């Protein structure tokens, strides 16, 4: 024994929380080694392709697949007629994967082919002959609600006009719908009539929000295989594997236990993989019929045509306040373009109404939405989930009201901002709330008040460049959202003989960095380096249940779940150590890979050694724990009231622009953000999350526009659908407000969706500050801005309307 070993070894306290930690998947992704679904090929695999209608609204008179079937290399050709057990899919069960009798949008699926190669499959599609009879097209939601408008989902009739007698069912796909209203929402607290009576000023405006789509770098795809016993294995990029397992089983009419979903690394999600789309079910049908694995990958054009979009919204907002700056009421009517079918886009009002009712203190609020069927692309869920649209309207009105009463817009916001401890009219209870800190921090760091006044004063100076500054704030769920029976997540934690951890979590990694944050939280409990953790999170046969990646919930929910499992492991380890070394459990701790004396940091035994002892000598036991975390939130009642999330996230963004009045070109110069994130867990990760979100919000505000004319997509390509490019990305100054949420993992709250939400609203306010011109319609392309500046934009007005 040498002398050094006798000296007690002291392990200094250390923490991973708040550090800049490289994402665990970064080396693989940066070096091009990640195997996406595109890189996976199974032996014996066929390639699937879908024939889409190309028509906007038409009856299918006949389909002839005989020539396609005869093409060498083609294994299976299917149409709706070949799948008698087709069940309707989607949030409202209003469409069949393969269309029956009628097509309602350009992307509609008519037939599908599985062949030896993609080329053969594509050639086979060209051999399929379809006869259509065109029907009148509904190209915008205002036409859909006109009396006598053609119905998008009438009772199903065949080509000859006879009733199709589909298998009895109660879904819209079976029995049709007497009007074009897909979904409606009505919410109220207080009494807006009384609120309006108490107002000194009232403003009313219509806002128009456009189509954008996710543009994931990895196009959609899936591989489906049935084994010899009829069990299904799917490689899928879903964000919600456990819900989908159940749903796919229903569509295939089999026991959910026979479905296994493996999620390869994903090339972008952003909400787009929250629903089941026709191609996935069709891929399963092909694999079932072919008895071979079938791989289906979209082309980029198909990704544009057949992916969900953010929901376009027409919105009329009426707001009032008193001279002293107190908000009095808010009344909102919106019309959502649902597209031809219903996906999650139709349910974005859940989130929109939270912003209307509860971002600021407003005593009276009245909100009505109808999502209506048209022949346009159908809208799905997209990062921010309606909140970009709601915030766009609300935050412009905050500036407009402030101007009307002659109050500084910053002061006006602070006067009405929520505080910790408040319960809103909608029943949301703000246990932690850094909203006012967000506003003042973003304003101070950007020198908002001085610039706001100066810019306004400089508006009429010579020259063609006008500078503007604008702000907007947001409220979003930050502690999950109780929509499904459970909003929980399970964890299995396993420690090996070398004190390495395998963290088996239900939470999916979709690029947001959840693996890294969950590992950090576990290491923090167990006193281990991040390199000690392997995460398993992509196989429903292994991982415990989780409701899915949405609602900015993963760090909060899966984080608490991982901590729960780690705490149980720690308790077991300390109990064993206490016994072995005759100490009190409470005097011991884990740090740096050792069991230590908590008070002094003195190392007692290497953790790996203790675990080996436990396993091989003392008790023949392993350290393996499980935990299921269910947040203490509640379901909303029928009136949409209730504390739906365990915590709420806040944020303020200040946007600075330069407007060229000769061209209408708006240069985004700087974004200053302050986000209440509860606590920063991985600083590098959260910075990336915010920066990416800002750029996504920038695209929504300025450049991205999926142009749909009478149901026809005009720009399904990156040449004319303009994502933000690197030189356009502005300078960013991001501050974090750490409100230390009591329920959050280490105090953290969700932040995934937050950074995209404020950009369009703040940019509109900045343009108004620069030019005195208000922009009510997105996106702020040079031509739109130029027109507005030159009085060429008629004032938008949509008369408030609500479904009977």
Burial class (CB in 10 A: 0-12, 13-18, 19+), 582: exposed
| Continuous segment of H or E residues that includes residue 453 | helix 448-458
Tell me if 662 contacts other proteins by CB under 8 A.
yes
Is position 665 an interface residue for other proteins (rule: CB under 8 A)?
yes
Does position 463 interact with other proteins (CB under 8 A)? The reply is: no
How many helical (H) and strand (E) elements, i.e. helices and strands, does the chain have?
A: 22, 28
Residue 22, interface with other proteins (CB under 8 A)?
no
Give the range of 224-232, 363-371, 430-438, 716-724 binding other proteins by CB under 8 A: 716-724
- The answer, yes or no, to whether the previous bond of 779 is cis (omega within 30 of 0) is yes
Instruction: Please say which residue, 242 or 702, places its beta carbon nearer to other proteins.
Output: 702
Nearer to other proteins, 306 or 346 (CB): 306
| 385 binds other proteins per the rule CB under 8 A | no
Contacts of 374 (CB under 8 A, 6+ apart): 138, 139, 140, 141, 143, 144, 152, 180, 337, 338, 339, 340, 711
Q: Which of residues 251-310 bind other proteins (CB under 8 A)?
A: 301
787 scored as a contact of other proteins (CB under 8 A): yes
| Cα–Cα distance, 647 to 748 (Å, whole number) | 9
Q: Which of 250, 301 has the CB closer to other proteins?
A: 301
**d(C-alpha 607, C-alpha 566), whole Å:** 14
Tell me the two tokens of residue 704: 């991205």
Please report whether residue 801 would count as binding other proteins according to CB under 8 A: no
Q: In angstroms, give the least distance from the CB of 790 to other proteins.
A: 8
Of the listed pieces 212-220, 352-360, 529-537, 786-794, which binds other proteins according to CB under 8 A?
786-794
Residue 753 annotated to the active site: yes
Q: How many C-beta atoms lie closer than 10 Å to residue 119's C-beta?
A: 12
Rank residues 180 and 703 by Cβ distance to other proteins and give the closer one: 703
Q: Give the nearer residue to other proteins in terms of CB position, either 557 or 785.
A: 785
**Closest to other proteins by CB, 665 or 801:** 665
Q: CA 245, CA 247: separation in Å to the nearest integer?
A: 5
Residue written as token pair 């998008």: 152
244 vs 784, beta carbon nearer other proteins: 784
Kindly tell me which of 431 and 722 has the beta carbon lying closer to other proteins.
722
731: contact with other proteins by CB under 8 A: no
What torsion do the CA atoms of 652, 658, 664, 665 make, to the nearest 10 degrees? -90
Distance of CA 56 to the CA centre of its chain: 28
Size of the site for other proteins (CB under 8 A): 26
The Cα 152–Cα 95 span in angstroms is: 11
CB of 299 to other proteins, least distance (A): 9
Question: Residues 646, 649, 655, CA angle at the centre, nearest 5°?
Answer: 170
Minimum CB separation of residue 122 from other proteins in Å reads 6
- Tallying the residues shown for the chain, one arrives at 804
Of 7, 163, 167, 719, the residue at the interface with other proteins (CB under 8 A) is 719
Stretch that binds other proteins, among 83-91, 322-330, 350-358, 713-721 (CB under 8 A): 713-721
Residue with Cβ nearer other proteins (121 or 495): 121
Question: CA neighbours within 13 Å on the CB side: how many for 622?
Answer: 13
HSE-CB at 154 with a 13 A cutoff on CA atoms is 17
**617 near other proteins (CB under 8 A):** no
Site stretch for other proteins (CB under 8 A), options 193-201, 766-774, 784-792, 794-802: 784-792
Examine residue 782 and tell whether it contacts other proteins (CB under 8 A). Answer: yes
3-state secondary structure of 781: coil
Rounded to the nearest 5°, which phi and psi values hold at 281? -70, -40
Identify the DSSP state of 562. H
Segment lying near other proteins (by CB under 8 A), choices 188-196, 338-346, 507-515, 662-670: 662-670
Residue of 61, 663, 740, 772 that binds other proteins (CB under 8 A):
663
Interface mask toward other proteins for 112-131; x: CB under 8 A = ------xx--x---------
Q: Binding to other proteins by residue 462, rule CB under 8 A? A: no
Contact by Cβ (8 Å): 98, 278: yes
Sole window of 302-310, 544-552, 609-617, 722-730 interacting with other proteins (rule: CB under 8 A): 722-730
CA 115 centroid distance within chain: 34
List the one residue out of 211, 207, 253, 247 whose CA is nearest residue 230: 253
Question: Hey, is 242 helix, strand or coil?
Answer: helix
Closest to other proteins by CB, 82 vs 728, is: 728
54 forms part of the interface with other proteins (CB under 8 A): no
- Burial class for 90, CB neighbours closer than 10 Å (0-12, 13-18, 19+): buried
Minimum distance of other proteins from residue 128's CB (angstroms): 17
Query: Which one of 326, 455, 505, 703 is in contact with other proteins (CB under 8 A)?
Result: 703
d(CA 110, CA 627): 46
C-beta of 29 vs 787, nearer to other proteins: 787
Residue number, 84 or 463, with CB nearest to other proteins: 463
> Counting contacts by CB under 8 A, is residue 612 touching other proteins?
no
Annotated catalytic residue within 303, 525, 743, 753 = 753
Out of 531, 707, 731, 797, the only residue in the binding site for other proteins (CB under 8 A) is 707
| CA nearest to 744, candidates 358, 528, 479, 423 | 479
User: In Å, how far from its chain's centre is CA 435?
Assistant: 22
Place of tokens 């349910």: 347
781 binds other proteins (CB under 8 A): yes
Of 411 and 662, which has the nearer Cβ to other proteins? 662
Rounded Cα gap, residues 167 and 264, in angstroms: 36
Choices 259-267, 490-498, 549-557, 661-669 (CB under 8 A): range interacting with other proteins: 661-669
User: CB–CB of 410/472 below 8 Å?
Assistant: no
> 198, exposed or middle or buried, with CB in 10 Å at 0-12, 13-18, 19+?
middle
Q: Is 447 left (phi over 0), alpha (psi -120 to 50) or beta?
A: left
Given candidates 404, 612, 722, 774, which one binds other proteins under the rule CB under 8 A? 722
Does residue 773 touch other proteins according to CB under 8 A? no
If one asks whether residue 626 binds other proteins (CB under 8 A), the answer comes out as no
- The two tokens of residue 255 are 């026991």
Residue 6 makes CB contacts below 8 A (sequence gap 6+) with none
Positions 442 through 461 that interact with other proteins (CB under 8 A)? none
Which of 147, 725, 795, 799 touches other proteins by CB under 8 A?
Answer: 725
Question: Does residue 728 interact with other proteins by CB under 8 A?
Answer: yes
Q: What gap in Å lies between CA 71 and CA 476, rounded to an integer?
A: 53
Shortest distance in whole angstroms from residue 125 CB to other proteins: 11
Selected from 720, 731, 740, 797, the binder of other proteins by CB under 8 A is: 720
Q: Which residue has the tokens 């993992």?
A: 745
Q: Return d(Cα 147, Cα 221) in angstroms, integer.
A: 41
Query: Residue 139 Cβ, how far from other proteins at the closest point, in Å?
Result: 16
Binding piece for other proteins, criterion CB under 8 A, among 60-68, 178-186, 427-435, 775-783: 775-783
Residue numbers of the site for other proteins (CB under 8 A)?
118-119, 122, 301, 662-663, 665, 703, 707, 714-715, 719-720, 722, 724-728, 781-783, 786-787, 790, 792
- Catalytic residue IDs: 753
């Amino acid at each position: 024994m040498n002398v050094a070993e006798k000296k007690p070894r002291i392990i200094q306290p250390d923490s991973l929380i708040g550090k800049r930690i490289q994402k665990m998947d970064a080396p693989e992704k940066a070096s091009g080694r990640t195997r996406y679904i595109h890189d996976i090929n199974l032996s014996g695999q066929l390639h699937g392709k879908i024939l889409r209608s190309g028509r906007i609204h038409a009856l299918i008179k006949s389909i002839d697949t005989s020539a396609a079937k005869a093409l060498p290399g083609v294994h299976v050709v299917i149409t709706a007629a070949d799948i008698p057990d087709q069940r309707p899919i989607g949030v409202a069960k209003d469409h069949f994967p393969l269309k029956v009798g009628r097509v309602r949008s350009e992307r509609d699926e008519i037939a599908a082919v599985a062949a030896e190669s993609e080329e053969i499959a594509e050639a086979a599609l060209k051999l399929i002959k379809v006869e259509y009879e065109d029907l009148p097209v509904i190209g915008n939601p205002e036409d859909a609600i006109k009396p006598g408008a053609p119905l998008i989902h009438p009772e199903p009739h065949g080509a000859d006009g006879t009733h199709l007698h589909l298998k009895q069912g109660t879904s819209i796909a079976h029995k049709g719908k007497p009007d074009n209203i897909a979904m409606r929402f009505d919410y109220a607290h207080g009494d807006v009539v009384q609120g309006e009576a108490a107002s000194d000023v009232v403003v009313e405006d219509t806002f128009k929000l456009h189509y954008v789509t996710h543009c994931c770098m990895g196009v959609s795809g899936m591989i489906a295989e049935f084994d010899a016993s009829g069990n299904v294995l799917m490689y899928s990029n879903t964000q919600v594997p456990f819900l989908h397992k159940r749903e796919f089983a229903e569509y295939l009419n089999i026991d959910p236990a026979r479905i296994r979903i493996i999620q390869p690394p994903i090339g972008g999600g952003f909400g787009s993989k929250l629903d089941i789309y026709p191609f996935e079910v069709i891929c399963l049908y092909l694999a079932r019929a072919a008895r071979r694995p079938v791989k289906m990958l979209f082309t980029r054009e198909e990704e544009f045509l057949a992916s969900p979009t953010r929901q376009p919204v027409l919105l009329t907002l009426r707001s009032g306040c008193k001279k002293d700056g107190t908000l009095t009421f808010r009344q909102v009517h919106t019309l959502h373009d649902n597209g031809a079918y219903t996906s999650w886009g139709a349910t974005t009002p859940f989130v929109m109404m939270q912003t209307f009712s509860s971002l600021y203190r407003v005593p009276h609020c009245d909100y009505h939405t109808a999502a209506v069927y048209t022949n346009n692309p159908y809208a799905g869920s997209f990062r921010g989930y309606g909140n970009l649209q709601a915030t766009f309207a609300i935050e412009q009105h905050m500036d407009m009201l402030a101007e009307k009463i002659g109050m500084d817009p910053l002061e006006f916001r602070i006067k009405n901002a929520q505080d910790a401890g408040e319960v809103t009219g909608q029943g949301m209870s703000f246990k932690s709330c850094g909203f006012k800190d967000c506003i003042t921090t973003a304003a101070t760091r950007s020198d908002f008040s001085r610039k706001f006044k100066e810019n306004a004063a400089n508006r009429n100076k010579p020259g063609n460049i006008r500078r503007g500054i604008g702000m907007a704030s947001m409220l979003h769920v930050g502690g999950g959202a109780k929509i499904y029976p459970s909003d929980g997540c399970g964890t299995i934690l396993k420690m090996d003989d070398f004190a390495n951890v395998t963290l088996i979590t239900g939470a999916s990694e979709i690029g947001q960095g959840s693996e890294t944050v969950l590992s950090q939280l576990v290491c923090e409990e167990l006193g281990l380096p991040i390199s000690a953790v392997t995460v398993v999170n992509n196989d429903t046969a292994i991982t415990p249940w989780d409701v899915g990646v949405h609602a900015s919930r993963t760090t909060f929910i899966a984080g608490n779940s991982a901590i729960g499992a780690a705490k149980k492991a720690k308790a077991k380890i300390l109990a064993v150590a206490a016994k072995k070394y005759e100490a009190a459990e409470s005097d011991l701790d884990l740090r740096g890979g050792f069991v230590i004396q908590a008070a002094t940091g003195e190392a007692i035994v290497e953790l790996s050694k203790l675990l080996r002892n436990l396993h091989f000598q003392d008790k023949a036991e392993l350290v393996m724990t499980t935990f299921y975390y269910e947040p203490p939130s509640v379901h909303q009642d029928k009136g949409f009231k209730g504390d739906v999330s365990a915590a709420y996230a806040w944020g303020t963004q200040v946007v600075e622009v330069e407007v060229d009045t000769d061209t209408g070109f708006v240069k985004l110069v700087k974004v200053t953000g302050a986000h209440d994130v509860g606590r920063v867990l991985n600083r590098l990760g959260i910075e990336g999350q915010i920066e990416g979100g800002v750029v996504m919000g920038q695209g929504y505000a300025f450049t991205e526009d999926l142009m749909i004319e009478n149901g026809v997509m005009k720009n399904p390509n990156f040449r004319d659908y303009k994502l933000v490019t690197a030189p356009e990305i502005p300078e960013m100054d991001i501050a974090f407000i750490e409100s230390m949420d009591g329920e959050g993992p280490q105090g953290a709250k969700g932040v995934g969706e937050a950074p995209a939400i404020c950009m369009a609203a703040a940019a509109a306010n900045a343009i108004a500050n620069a030019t005195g011109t208000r922009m009510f319609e997105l996106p702020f392309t040079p031509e739109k801005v130029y027109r507005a500046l030159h009085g060429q934009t008629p004032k938008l007005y949509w008369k408030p309307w609500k479904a009977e």
